Structure formats: C-alpha cells, structure tokens
Amino acid sequence: MSSLTARQNQSGFSLSEYLTCLNGIVWREALRFLHQRERFVSALVRPLVWLFIFAAGFRQVLGISIIPPYETYILYEVYIAPGLMAMIQLFNGMQSSLSMVYDREMGNMRTLLVSPLPRWYLLFCKLLAGTAVSLLQVYAFLLIAWFWDIAPPPIGYLTVLPALILSGLMLGALGMLISSGIKQLENFAGVMNFVIFPMFFASSALYPLWRVQEGSPLLYYVCLFNPFTHAVELIRFALYGQINWLSLAVVGSCTAAFMIGAIYAYDPSRGLIRRGPAGGET
C-alpha cells in the first residue's frame, strides 16, 4: 500500500493535498480554455447576436412594463441581458460536460477517477473549474454590453457574482449528470441541443412570465418549473442588488440534486458507468 493510501486510511488527506488537487484540475481547465480561443469567441458571439440583432428587431414590439426588480420602463435588450448571461453559463456547462465525455473516450478520465482522493471531490473540482471559466465569459459579455448602454447599478457587478457562481454550479452539475450517461462523443451534440434549447426558450430569458401566461397558461407552468427560469431570475435580481428568495431556493436545491446525481452516476459500482471484465468502462 502506498504511503498516500496509508495516510488516507489513518487520518485522511491533508488540506494541502486537497488544495493541490483543486489547483491541478482548475489549472488544467484554464489551459484548455486558453488553448481553445474559438470557444471563448463562440461563447460571446451567441449572446451578442441575440443582443444586437434579435433585441433590436423586437425593441418596438416587446415593451417591458415596470416589474421587479426594475423601477422604471426598460428597453427589451436590458430585459434579456440576464437571460443571455445565463445562456453563456448553460452553453459552458454543456461544453464542460462534453470535455468529460471526450476525456472518458480518450482514457484521460480514467486517470482522474482512479485518484485516491474522494470521487465526489474530484467531480466538484471539475465543476468549480468550469464555473470559473463561465464567470470570465459572462463578465466579458457585461463589458461589451456596457458599451451598448446596458449597465446595471455599479454595485450590481459585485452583487451578481454569488448568483453567477450558484447558477454556474447548477448548470455545470446538470451537464455533468447528462454526460455520465453518454458513452460516445457523437451522441452528445443531439442530447445537448435537446437540453439547451427547451431550457432556454421555455424560460423567462426572453419574455416575462406574465406575457407567457397571457399567451399559454400551460407554457407558463412549464416555464415556472424550469430550473433555468429561476437561474435567470436569480441573476436578474442580483444585478440590481436584490434577492429572489424563491429562485435562490430552487437553484440551490437543483444544484445539490444534480451534483448528488452526478456523483452517484460516476460511481462505477452503482452508477451509470459500469466496469467491464477488463476494468474498462462499458
């Protein structure tokens, strides 16, 4: 038995060992992000297209009345900005889980998961790394949006940070849970689109829920029970220094549920990834 395993059995891992693991996983994710510049560009192109083209076309059609957290009438592009921020995190969560499918197919995931450190901690480190990357993308979007006269109160750039961290963890954990059941890289694109577009369009990202209710009561309840809706509303209120307690509870609960599901699914003895006769994944 190795000395590392012996220390684990006797007194567990030290804080420095946990931090070393966290630093390694975060640094690996950061290097991957830096080497994939097109990933950063594509993460900004999607919301900017919606902001500069879609919102401009609907500005005169979709006026937004005074609803919390807004204290006055707002332009349509101001309303959809929080939804576009959440969309960046949604796509990033799915891309991060895509990298897990790729690593598992190439064998890199096996190297990570055989570490003597607890598996839940390894997955949580991966989740934190993906969330950190999404934060960089969101703040880059906010910087560009500022030049488009979309500027929340200055304190909003700080108060929105906890909301972005929590929503990033929820969407990243969802992607991690989905990736646990996908064994081939080619199948992931279809599954990703099946998740991303219904979550995004059936939410309050593009339209207030009261407008959705006027058009379709059934769709209103679909949006109401969509976790992405509450991620958007959590970000929206946080941008203006307020807390939407219902959305906070929903996003926090979903984050815990998705993470627990992912940890269970990545357990080869119980979850969706099972070991074959030769010890490989099947």
**Residue 110 belongs to domain spanning:** 21-268
pLDDT value of residue 9: 42
24: left (phi over 0), alpha (psi -120 to 50) or beta: alpha
pLDDT tens string, the chain, 282 residues long: the values are 344 444 444 346 777 777 777 777 777 777 777 666 666 777 788 888 888 887 776 765 565 667 788 877 788 888 899 999 999 999 888 887 777 766 666 655 666 666 677 778 888 888 888 898 899 999 999 999 998 888 889 999 999 999 999 999 999 999 888 887 776 666 666 777 788 889 999 999 988 888 888 888 999 999 999 999 999 999 999 999 999 999 999 999 999 999 999 888 876 555 444 444 334 444
Q: How far apart are CA 53 and CA 43, in angstroms?
A: 16
Within a domain: 6: no
Question: Does residue 1 form part of some domain?
Answer: no
**Is residue 152 assigned to a domain?**
yes
**Predicted pLDDT of residue 156:** 92
CB atoms within 10 A of CB 236: 28
| Per-residue pLDDT at 104 | 66
Q: Is residue 10 part of a domain?
A: no
Looking up tokens 């500005």 gives 59
pTM of the model: 0.83
Q: Is residue 4 part of a domain?
A: no
Residue 282 maps to a domain: no
What pLDDT, on a 0 to 100 scale, did the predictor assign at position 113?
A: 62
CB contact set of 2 (below 8 Å; sequence gap of 6+)? 116
The count of domains in the chain is 1
Measured in degrees and rounded to the nearest 5, phi and psi for residue 205 equal -65, -35
Q: What is the pLDDT of residue 7?
A: 43
Q: Residue 281 domain-assigned? A: no
11 within a domain of the structure (yes/no)? no
Residue among 98, 54, 93, 111 nearest 77 (CA): 54
